[in-house]
């Protein structure tokens, strides 16, 4: 069949290694026409197809064949096409192929269903992946399908689901392998479940993966995230052949726990052992609370290596320079960047959230067709609050919900309360909580209102906010002190004493 031949050619094309070091063609690369307009085009060959175009053409032919009544039940062809979709991250074409696979074939052929499941899970289509998983008749023949689904849940941050699936896998008698454990360990680290992580560690040793570098890297990351940095280091030292992932996991662990000296020593040993730091290494060490002198030295090293405009590195430099109060250098790095992502814009807006430049950068961001996210709006709303720009803040809050379809979070409502509160509009701030919020206000929201009441001496609403905070944060002495200051401003000495007694009775420091 012509379609089958096309499929084989496409698969060979996608799997072929690049043997020409002088020219590495990207998957979406197209050859351009000659620059000279005088050359005749009529005898020129059409430009070669990209891999995605070739894949789409194959799927078009398959759909046409099925429409003409041709029954296609070739598992090797479907398996090959799904493998190509996975390599090209072409989930849309995979969905089209899924519709063409006979249900009986999908149910009985574990190879085809496993590759379809992996395609869905790796691209965030987790519900579709689980539907394929539930439909499989022989999913327990290997760990492949289980690994793909566990990985999909872990990558999406659905750690509880990933762990539940792992325990179901063990219960059904499917042996985990070297690809299972790193995904499960990521879920343990994400949830901070060190006891579960230790249990998985014992299973790793029992199954014979105690010296697997891939698995050991996962253990280092898990222990570091769960707070046992000594155990993380112990595992790290046992890795027989360390790679960049090993070093970066250990480095992130030290930085996370603010162990600056250990982080710097690890960074130095990494270089001495012949491992050149990558963008993850550099961006990690830059966020370790270094002195400005060290930051400048690392920046110089990055400049010499020619990797200054790597996005994670440049974004980290913006943040670090702003932390040192050098907004001029942060702006210089940002303005020189040849390309920017959402993180770049969010970082430069966030570091200016007490300045009018935050709104300038926000409007510049919109002109580049970069869509803001929830983090962006927290920063610009905070800027509006500091600048007392109530109308601008109201407009941005409306734009967030109406233009971008975002559901405001607790933090967004806290920004709105802060916006009104800083402008002295205490009643409007209180109305946000009573009339706009769809859920109960948390400490950040009530805290913003209480602070505004302290600044402007609003006793009535201040009492309401304080009482809510006493229930939500019974051990936070700051709330009690603010209420005492509010009472003190208006001369209500007895109420000041009453709150003082309340603090003492709860064992709080005056």
**pLDDT value of residue 396:** 96
Range with the poorest average pLDDT among 18-22, 74-78, 347-351, 370-374: 18-22
**pLDDT value of residue 235:** 96
- For residue 45, report the phi and psi dihedrals to the nearest 5 degrees: -70, 145
Instruction: Read off the tokens for 425.
Output: 């509009």
Interaxial angle between packed helices 260-272 and 279-286, expressed in degrees from 0 to 180 and rounded to the nearest 10 = 150
pLDDT band at 138 (very low <50, low <70, confident <90, very high): confident
**pLDDT value of residue 467:** 94
Query: Taking a C-beta distance cutoff of 8 angstroms, is the pair 184, 163 a contact?
Result: yes
For residues 389-396, give the mean pLDDT: 96
Buried b (16+ CB within 10 A) or exposed e, 100-120: ebeeeebbebbbbbbbbbbbb
Query: Taking a C-beta distance cutoff of 8 angstroms, is the pair 75, 109 a contact?
Result: yes
Q: Which of 237, 292, 291 is closest to 269 using CA atoms?
A: 237
pLDDT band at 48 (very low <50, low <70, confident <90, very high): low
For residues 397-416, give the mean pLDDT: 94
Q: What is the pLDDT of residues 168-216, one digit of tens each?
A: 999 999 999 999 999 999 999 999 999 999 999 999 999 999 999 999 9
**pLDDT value of residue 50:** 86
Residue 327 has pLDDT above 60, yes or no: yes
Residue 280 has pLDDT above 50, yes or no: yes
**pLDDT value of residue 28:** 41
Residue 508 has pLDDT above 90, yes or no: no
Residue 124 has pLDDT above 70, yes or no: yes
**pLDDT value of residue 52:** 86
pLDDT band at 47 (very low <50, low <70, confident <90, very high): low
Residue 16 has pLDDT above 50, yes or no: no
Q: What is the pLDDT of residues 352-363, one digit of tens each?
A: 988 999 999 999
**pLDDT value of residue 45:** 56
Query: Taking a C-beta distance cutoff of 8 angstroms, is the pair 139, 172 a contact?
Result: no
Q: What percent of the chain has pLDDT over 90?
A: 71
Residue 129 has pLDDT above 90, yes or no: yes
Range with the poorest average pLDDT among 7-16, 120-129, 236-245: 7-16
What is the rounded distance in angstroms from the CA atom of residue 293 to the CA atom of residue 297? Answer: 6
For residues 105-133, give the mean pLDDT: 93
Residue 15 has pLDDT above 90, yes or no: no
Residue 149: strand, helix, or coil: helix
What is the rounded distance in angstroms from the CA atom of residue 80 to the CA atom of residue 58? Answer: 12
**pLDDT value of residue 56:** 87
Q: What percent of the chain has pLDDT over 70?
A: 90
**pLDDT value of residue 70:** 86
| DSSP string of 88-107, one letter each residue | HT-HHHHHHHHHHS-HHHHH
Range with the poorest average pLDDT among 168-182, 288-302, 368-382: 288-302
Q: What is the pLDDT of residues 221-269, one digit of tens each?
A: 999 999 999 999 999 999 988 999 999 999 999 999 999 999 999 999 9
**pLDDT value of residue 2:** 43
**pLDDT value of residue 504:** 85
Q: What is the pLDDT of residues 333-345, one digit of tens each?
A: 999 999 999 999 9
For residues 13-28, give the mean pLDDT: 39
Total residues found in the chain within this entry? 510
Residue 31 has pLDDT above 70, yes or no: no
* Higher-pLDDT residue of 227, 36: 227
Q: Mean of the per-residue pLDDT values for the chain?
A: 88
**pLDDT value of residue 203:** 94
């Amino acid at each position: 069949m012509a379609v089958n031949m096309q499929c084989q050619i496409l698969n060979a094309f996608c799997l072929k290694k690049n043997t020409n070091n002088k020219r590495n063609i990207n998957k979406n690369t197209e050859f351009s026409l000659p620059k000279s307009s005088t050359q005749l085009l009529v005898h020129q060959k059409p430009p070669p197809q990209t891999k995605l175009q070739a894949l789409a053409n194959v799927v078009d032919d398959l759909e046409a064949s099925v429409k003409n009544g041709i029954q296609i039940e070739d598992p090797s062809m479907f398996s090959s096409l799904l493998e190509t979709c996975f390599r090209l991250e072409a989930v849309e074409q995979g969905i089209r192929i899924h519709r063409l696979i006979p249900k009986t074939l999908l149910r009985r052929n574990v190879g085809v269903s496993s590759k379809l499941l992996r395609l869905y899970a790796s691209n965030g289509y987790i519900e579709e992946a689980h539907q394929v998983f539930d439909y499989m008749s022989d999913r327990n023949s290997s760990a492949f399908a289980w690994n793909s689904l566990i990985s999909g849940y872990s990558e999406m941050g659905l750690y509880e689901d990933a762990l539940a699936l792992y325990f179901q896998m063990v219960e059904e008698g499917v042996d985990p392998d070297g690809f299972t454990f790193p995904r499960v360990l990521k879920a343990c680290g994400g949830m901070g479940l060190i006891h579960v992580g230790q249990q998985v560690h014992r299973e790793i040793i029992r199954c014979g993966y105690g010296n697997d570098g891939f698995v050991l890297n996962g253990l280092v990351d898990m222990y570091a995230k769960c707070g046992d940095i000594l155990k993380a280091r112990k595992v790290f030292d046992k890795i027989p052949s360390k790679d960049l992932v090993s070093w970066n996991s250990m480095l992130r662990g030290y930085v996370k726990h603010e162990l600056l000296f250990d982080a710097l020593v690890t960074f130095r040993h990494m270089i001495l052992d012949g491992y050149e730091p990558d963008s993850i290494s550099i961006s990690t060490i830059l966020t370790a609370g270094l002195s400005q002198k060290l930051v400048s030295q690392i920046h110089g090293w990055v400049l010499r290596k020619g990797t200054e405009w790597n996005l994670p590195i440049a974004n980290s430099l913006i943040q670090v320079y702003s932390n040192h109060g050098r907004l001029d250098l942060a702006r210089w790095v940002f303005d020189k960047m040849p390309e920017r992502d959402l993180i770049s814009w969010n970082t430069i807006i966030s570091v200016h959230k007490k300045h009018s430049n935050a709104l300038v950068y926000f409007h510049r961001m919109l002109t580049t067709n970069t869509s803001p996210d929830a983090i962006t709006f927290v920063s610009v709303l905070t800027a509006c609050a500091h600048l007392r720009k109530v109308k601008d803040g109201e407009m941005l809050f409306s734009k967030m919900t109406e233009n971008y379809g975002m559901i405001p979070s607790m933090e967004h409502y806290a920004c709105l309360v802060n916006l009104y509160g800083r402008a002295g509009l205490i009643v409007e701030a209180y109305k946000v909580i009573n009339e706009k919020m769809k859920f109960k206000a948390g400490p950040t929201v009530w805290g913003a209102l209480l602070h505004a009441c302290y600044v402007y001496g609003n006793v009535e609403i201040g009492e309401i906010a304080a009482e809510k905070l006493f229930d939500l944060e019974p051990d936070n002495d700051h709330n009690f002190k603010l209420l005492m200051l509010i009472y003190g401003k208006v001369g209500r000495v007895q109420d000041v004493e009453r709150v003082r007694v309340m603090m003492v009775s709860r064992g709080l420091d005056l």
